[in-house]
Copies of this chain bind each other. A is one copy, B any other.
Amino acid sequence: MTHRVGDIAAAIGATLEGDGDITITHAAEPDAAGPDALALAMSPKYAEALSKGEARAAIVWPGADWQAMGLEAAIIAPRARVTMAGLTRIFDPGQGFAPGIHPQALVDPGAEIGADVSIGPFSVIAAGARIGDRTTIGPLCYVGTGSVIGADSFLREHVSIGARVRTGARLVVQPGARIGSDGFSFVTPEKSSVEAAREEFGTSEAEGSAGQAYLRIHSLGGVEIGDDVEVGANTTIDSGTIRPTRIGNGTKLDNMVQVGHNVTVGHDTLLCGQVGLAGSCRVGNNVVLGGQVGAADNIFIGDGVVAAGATKITGNVPAGRVIMGYPATKMETQVAMYKAMRRLPRLLDEIARLQKAVFKSPSND
């Protein structure tokens, strides 16, 4: 597929300079860009590579002297990553899933399929499921009984949606994600060792072991997902116990994120790779949890919180706070503690010197 450079500039709302009639077939990094490529050179560090490459057209930083770098056309990108969003959307060839319902898909007669839906081979749509208009379901997927997938959604291959899941419009699900798995919720008939430990250390919910067999608490609540949500590869979202586990509009989950039963996540929140949210925790709006962040059960994380990668959140976090560490603290506290810790070995020497001066011996133990 070829595109006029002028059309690309118009489509992404950017300024064109030079010859808009040049046609290109793909985007490339400056040093790898041939004459058919649109070179991506959104900061001055790419100037040299650009001069040496064969690109005729490029996306450049504001103020770039693109003619001096041998270009015939330039698209000016004041905000590089926003430009990338527009550009990659234009050039994305997609996964190539065919339109229509594949003859080897298995759609229960009791399922309701919208207009212009695509369902891949060996996918199963259970009785009572509803698939919204223009939604694509990749190969080898499962959509469970009574579940509703919103319009204009896109499910990659190997996705499972259990029973009683309701999703909004424009859902994107990466391969192997599981939405609506059963919650991890067990109880012993009598008080357990974990309950005892929790009581001693002042934490809350009772779950645990004690030489007794576990009773299972079933998950009846399903999952409720807003509009414009993305769910990463091999991510798992458990059903709620009585009410649904909830993910708000515009929230994005990366790969291998674990969302426990009864969790509530607000809108426009980012959960990066391998984040784990334990049961019943509540995460606000516009939150960002970095990769491998963990949050304990039943806690509250306020709006706008930003947690650095690997932060382990063991208690409530007020809105707007930037946190890190295990256990999590405000980032500046963590930095101060860490600096002090690095001084510690030297401190031991200083104290020994003081002891010698005061007590005439390095230690009076």
Per-position binary interface string of chain A over residues 114-145, scored 1 when its CB falls under 8 Å from any chain B CB and 0 otherwise: 00000011101011100000000011101011
Q: Are B354 and A344 in contact (CB under 8 A)?
A: no
Q: Are B345 and A340 in contact (CB under 8 A)?
A: yes
Q: Which of A88-108 contact B (CB under 8 A)?
A: 88-89, 91-96, 104, 106
- 21 interchain pairs, CB-CB under 8 A: A79-B187, A91-B220, A93-B163, A94-B163, A96-B146, A124-B139, A172-B182, A176-B176, A178-B255, A181-B232, A184-B272, A201-B331, A207-B288, A208-B306, A211-B268, A212-B268, A213-B268, A233-B236, A233-B238, A278-B309, A292-B292
Other-chain contact of A357, B175, B178, B358 (Cβ < 8 Å): B358
Residue A167 is within 8 A (CB to CB) of chain B in the complex: no
Interface residues of A (CB under 8 A from B): 26-29, 32, 40, 79, 81-82, 84-86, 88-89, 91-96, 104, 106, 120-122, 124, 126-128, 138-140, 142, 144-146, 156-158, 160, 162-164, 172, 174-176, 178, 181-182, 184, 186-187, 189, 193-194, 197, 200-201, 206-220, 228, 230, 232-234, 236, 238, 241-243, 250, 252, 254-256, 258, 260, 268-270, 272-274, 276, 278, 285-288, 291-292, 294, 296, 304, 306, 308-310, 312, 314, 322, 325-327, 331, 333, 336-338, 340-345, 347-348, 350-351, 353-355, 357-359, 363-364
Give min CB distance, A174 to chain B, whole Å.
4
Q: How many Å lie between the Cα of A186 and that of B253 in the bound state?
A: 11
Q: Are B140 and A122 in contact (CB under 8 A)?
A: yes
Q: Are B306 and A197 in contact (CB under 8 A)?
A: yes
Give min CB distance, A185 to chain B, whole Å.
8
Other-chain contact of A95, B144, B186, B197, B341 (Cβ < 8 Å): B144
Query: Using Cβ atoms and an 8 Å threshold, which residues of chain B touch A201?
Result: 322, 331
Query: Using Cβ atoms and an 8 Å threshold, which residues of chain B touch A158?
Result: 142, 158, 160, 176, 178
Q: How many Å lie between the Cα of A324 and that of B278 in the bound state?
A: 17
Query: Using Cβ atoms and an 8 Å threshold, which residues of chain B touch A127?
Result: 96
Query: Using Cβ atoms and an 8 Å threshold, which residues of chain B touch A104?
Result: 106
Query: Using Cβ atoms and an 8 Å threshold, which residues of chain B touch A156?
Result: 160, 162, 181-182
Task: Determine chain A's interface SS by DSSP, over half rule.
Answer: loop
Q: Are A96 and B144 in contact (CB under 8 A)?
A: yes
Q: Which residue of B lies closest to A336 (CB)?
A: B345
Query: Using Cβ atoms and an 8 Å threshold, which residues of chain B touch A197?
Result: 306, 322, 331
Q: How many Å lie between the Cα of A296 and that of B309 in the bound state?
A: 7
Q: How many Å lie between the Cα of A278 and that of B289 in the bound state?
A: 13
Give min CB distance, A101 to chain B, whole Å.
14
Known: A193-B288, A209-B288. A218 touches B92 (CB 8 A): yes
Q: How many Å lie between the Cα of A341 and that of B348 in the bound state?
A: 11
Known: A96-B163, A312-B292. A82 touches B120 (CB 8 A): no
Other-chain contact of A211, B96, B286, B347, B359 (Cβ < 8 Å): B286
